[in-house]
Structure 1
Amino acid sequence: MPTLKQLSIALGLLTSDQSPVPNKDGWVNYVWRVHAAQQCLGVEDGFCEIVQDKWDWKRPQYYSFSFRSDPETNSVTSRITLRNEDPEDDDQVCVVASFLNATGQEVGIFYANWRALPGRSYTREAPIWLSTDVREIATVAVGTKQCDVKAKPDAENFYRIRLALNQR
């Protein structure tokens, strides 16, 4: 008989968008949301929110992912909000954002493993600098999952991809 965690992962994966990156890049058990990014590239002062969803289907625990690109510095700043409305449950939440060009090639990668404390909300921002023009970003695939504090395979995966993309 499957455990509650196994059932939770299976249900999340069933509702996941079809992402062009997770299996070939090695991201395991992430639930993906894939969105076109073109409407976001022209935002000058603010962030463009592309995803609002739950990281845990059985509890009131939500995340949002926004980003802002800056062609002058060739950077992308990701903004993540974790909103944990469960007063009893805390989680480690891993978030991956893969920035893809029009041909589906990955041009940027973002990864975070942040703690969501019971009944708290957090918003954090983190920049990345691409080795290709930020204006090439056509699609953003955002994946989330509950993870452990170290999530060593995911962190190693991020650093491997980041190095291959020559990203800072």
Structure 2
Amino acid sequence: MTLLLRTLLLATLLLILPSNAFADGRTDWKDYAWQEIKLTKCASDSMTVACPLYHQKWDWKRNQWVDITISMDLVRGELELTQRLTDNDPKDDDHVCVTALGVDAAGNNIIAHHQNWHMHPRQIEERAFSIRSSRLSSITSLFIGSKQCRQGASQDDDLYARVLAGIAN
């Protein structure tokens, strides 16, 4: 009986205590294919940062791609994020969720971006977004994730609102 109680206590503690591995909040975003870009891998000078291309399928079995470029102007406190979605499938349309999180060394979210796209067969869509923050220089890693949003147009929008509220506080 004591072994069972210890196991239950350990499991409970693991669930309620913060985890350093996922302190950045990615665990809240379910089913995303994440890539981490450490800012040390980005080209930079004292004023700007340009990060490597994110290139990922949103549906692993189809020829459907998300490409993202990110650059930061540290003087202006502005992050530029350009998304290009390419649906090369002749018949499949999808809702696609794309999320980017910028975190500091402690794993705290500094910036967040979320977009839910509806992509038609053979469609290419590209848009640029600007995110302003006086704390850009404290970002140490960018996490970018994408997935097929099977629940439709507003999937993960409530979560995004909660994340933004947490950043503002």
TM range (shorter): 0.7 to 0.9
Identity %: 26
Mapped contact 2:101–2:142 kept (Cα < 8 A): yes
Paired letter, 1:89: D
Mapped contact 1:51–1:65 kept (Cα < 8 A): yes
**Alpha-carbon distance change, 74 to 46 in structure 1, aligned in 2, over 3 angstroms:** closer
My pick for the range that moved more, 91-100 or 114-123, is 114-123
Is the partner of 2:126 in helix, strand or coil? strand
May I ask how many residue pairs the two structures share in their alignment? 145
Structure 2 match to 1:21: 25
Q: Deviations over 1:4-54 (max 9, x none)?
A: xxxxxxxxxxxxxx864222xx21121211121234362778953331111
Cα offset, 1:88, TM superposition: 0.9
Unmatched tracts of structure 2, length 5 or more: 1-20
Residues in 2 aligned to 1:59 and 1:120: alpha-carbon distance in whole angstroms? 14
Q: TM-score, normalised by structure 2?
A: 0.76
Structure 2 match to 1:150: 154
Paired letter, 2:78: S
Paired letter, 2:52: E
Mapped contact 1:85–1:118 kept (Cα < 8 A): yes
Structure 1 match to 2:127: 124
Q: Deviations over 1:67-95 (max 9, x none)?
A: 11112321212111101110111111101
Mapped contact 1:49–1:64 kept (Cα < 8 A): no
Alignment of 1:1-168 (within 5 A): 20-23=24-27, 26-40=28-42, 42=44, 48-130=51-133, 132-147=134-149, 148-151=152-155, 154-166=156-168
Unmatched tracts of structure 1, length 5 or more: 1-17
Is the partner of 2:37 in helix, strand or coil? strand
Structure 2 match to 1:4: none
Mapped contact 1:98–1:140 kept (Cα < 8 A): yes
Mapped contact 2:43–2:50 kept (Cα < 8 A): no
Structure number with greater Rg is: 2
